[in-house]
Amino acid sequence: MTDPLDSLFSRVLGARIFADRERMRPDYVPDDLPHREGQILKLAEILAPSLKGSRPSNIFIYGVPGTGKTAVTKYVLKKLEAEGRKIGVDLGLAYINCKHDDTNYRVLADLCEAAGERIPFTGLSTSEVFRRFVRLVDASGKMIFAVLDEVDALVKKTGDKALYDLTRINQRLERTRISIVGITNDLKFMEYLDPRVRSSLGEEELVFPPYGASELEDILSRRAAVAFNEDTLDAGVIKLCAALAAKEHGDARRALDLLRISGEIAERNGDPRVTEEHVRMAQREIERDRVVEVVRTMPLHSRILILSLHLLSGKGGKGGSTGELYDLYSSISKNMGLEPLTQRRVSDLINELDMLGIANAKVVSKGRYGRTKVVSLSISTKNLKEALQDDPRVGVLIRR
DNA sequence: CGTCCACAGGAATGACGGGCGG
DNA sequence: CCGCCCGTCATTCCTGTGGACG
């Protein structure tokens, strides 16, 4: 597998950590997916009738990020297609990432392409594309699989009309069928849907539970065996990566990223082996990048809020209540000559920070003394400072 | 066991900006 | 190109509530 030149270069450059870096990339789909055998089987079972020419049920797949939803789906469809080719059944596969293609038009255009016709990327009305698609599919007699990855993005942006149309397509088709596989991270997603769409889309459901620490460890070591050179990983490295990622909701992508970046750091430093120290550095680097990225795109008031939070928890305490936080926030705002936002609004901003993993917010009832939300920062001070640094107005206040 | 604190968080509404169809 | 519509941010007003205190 290893290109002779690759190994030559790495010997010359002394960078011998990775054997095949490609296999550590987040979008790489491996040939074996450990601990997802059940899901693979179930999905295959549901989709298999297509090989006999009957329409498989529509499926809905749930699971938090990094639980292998996309990988399993791609894997099963690939196998299915191969099997179909063997026995002479032509299947049309459309893998659509709705985060990327987030308009009805583009989704339909992709589907047409899967059915074998290119559609101009603009110029036709959406309903015209829809009609063409129906005609096309009916004429070709192909069974079409529409995989809608991250459907929640599509629905949030354009509503569930597109999904509704798709589920109804079968009624307009005479010779063939279309089967929909919806994938989402959002566990409550179904509630947003029209009941009619819900019932026809959710004929079958498949849940991907988060990986546990030992499962992550297994996944990592299998991947490391092919991606890293032998004997370049210290004993505890994989275990540590797995443990850190398990804390982050069992996200396998996070675990793999962690391991890859650890390797890259070791390589940059010219170290022969990846150590636990490298993993910790990688962890910090990932967090820093995320925080800086998030904070940079945040509006001024949210930054002031973060700053207030920082000052509040800086004074020894473990965060503070909404009231304390709001008081501090509004006095800072006034000092800067800004009209503070309402408490109501700030309450939403706090929830937002919580969602983004920058703060922890927890409702606590203190009985007689009210009911509040205790908020604390969940990122390191160092990263925070770096993230706020480049803001001319807030940055000044944090150097202290 | 009821009260009552200190907010949470829903609903209605308005201001603003940006995209899209005609 | 324009107007319309829609989404986002923000405010106002409001009802709801866990549980220590009395």
What does the pLDDT look like over A39-62, one tens digit per residue? 999 999 999 988 887 888 889 898
Q: Is the CB of A369 under 7 A from strand B?
A: yes
A186-241 confidence digits (pLDDT tens) = 776 766 676 677 777 778 889 899 999 999 999 999 999 988 988 889 989 999 99
The topology (CATH level 3) of A37-207 is: Rossmann fold (3.40.50)
* Interatomic CA distance for residues A362 and A132, integer angstroms: 52
Q: Is the CB of A10 under 7 A from strand B?
A: no
CA atoms A159, A194, A165, A187: torsion sign: positive
* Interatomic CA distance for residues A315 and A110, integer angstroms: 55
Out of A74-88, A98-112, A118-132, A147-161, the most confident range is A74-88
Burial A279-301 (b: 16+ CB within 10 A, else e): bebbbebbbbebbbebbeebeeb
Nucleotide nearest to A321 (CA to C1'): B7
Q: Is the CB of A188 under 7 A from strand B?
A: no
A109-139 confidence digits (pLDDT tens) = 887 877 777 777 666 777 777 788 878 877 7
Residues 6+ apart with CB under 8 A from A107: A96, A98, A101, A148, A154, A162
Nucleotides of C under 7 A from a protein CB: 7, 9-14, 16-22
Q: Is the CB of A371 under 7 A from strand B?
A: yes
* Interatomic CA distance for residues A69 and A371, integer angstroms: 39
Q: How far is the CA of A319 from the C1' of C17 (A)?
A: 23
| Portions of chain A given CATH number 3.40.50.300 | 37-207
In the sheet with A204-207, reading across from the earlier edge strand, the strands are A91-97, A143-149, A178-184, A59-62, A204-207
Architecture of domain A298-398: Orthogonal Bundle (1.10)
Closest residue (CA) to C1' of nucleotide B4 is A368
Its pTM stands at 0.76
Q: How far is the CA of A344 from the C1' of C14 (A)?
A: 12
According to DSSP, residue A228 is labeled: B
Of the two residues A214 and A159, the one the predictor is more confident about is A214
Write down the residue that tokens 């049309």 correspond to.
Answer: A92
Q: Is the CB of A104 under 7 A from strand B?
A: no
Q: How far is the CA of A181 from the C1' of B16 (A)?
A: 39
Write out the H or E segment, with its range, that includes residue A237. helix A237-247
Closest residue (CA) to C1' of nucleotide C13 is A344
Taking the CA atoms of residue A125, residue A171, residue A167 and residue A108 in that order, the dihedral angle to the nearest 10 degrees is -30
Mean pLDDT of chain A: 84
Length of chain A: 400
Q: Is the CB of A322 under 7 A from strand B?
A: yes
Q: How far is the CA of A315 from the C1' of B18 (A)?
A: 43
Nucleotides of B under 7 A from a protein CB: 3-11, 20-22
Please tell me the predicted confidence (pLDDT) of residue A107: 78
| Portions of chain A given CATH number 1.10.8.60 | 211-294
The topology (CATH level 3) of A211-294 is: Helicase, Ruva Protein; domain 3 (1.10.8)
* Interatomic CA distance for residues A273 and A263, integer angstroms: 8
A245-297 confidence digits (pLDDT tens) = 998 888 999 999 999 999 999 988 888 889 999 999 999 999 898 888 888 88
Residues 6+ apart with CB under 8 A from A176: A137, A138, A140, A141, A142, A143, A144
Please tell me the predicted confidence (pLDDT) of residue A158: 64
Question: Does residue A217 contact residue A238 with C-beta atoms inside 8 Å?
Answer: yes
Q: What average pLDDT does range A59-67 have in this prediction?
A: 87
Q: Is the CB of A324 under 7 A from strand B?
A: yes
The first and second tokens of residue A263, run together, are 């390797």
The first and second tokens of residue A366, run together, are 């203190």
Whether the predicted pLDDT of A182 surpasses 60: yes
Residues engaging strand C (CB under 7 angstroms): A 159, 299, 301, 339-342, 344-345, 348-349, 365-371
Question: Does residue A78 contact residue A130 with C-beta atoms inside 8 Å?
Answer: no
Q: What average pLDDT does range A141-169 have in this prediction?
A: 76
| Portions of chain A given CATH number 1.10.10.10 | 298-398
Q: What φ, ψ does residue A52 adopt, rounded to 5°?
A: -95, 5
Q: How far is the CA of A158 from the C1' of C5 (A)?
A: 14
Q: Is the CB of A121 under 7 A from strand B?
A: no
Q: How far is the CA of A341 from the C1' of B22 (A)?
A: 39
Task: Please state the separation of Cα A324 from the chain's center in Å.
Answer: 35
Nucleotide nearest to A125 (CA to C1'): B21
Please tell me the predicted confidence (pLDDT) of residue A13: 60
Closest residue (CA) to C1' of nucleotide B5 is A370
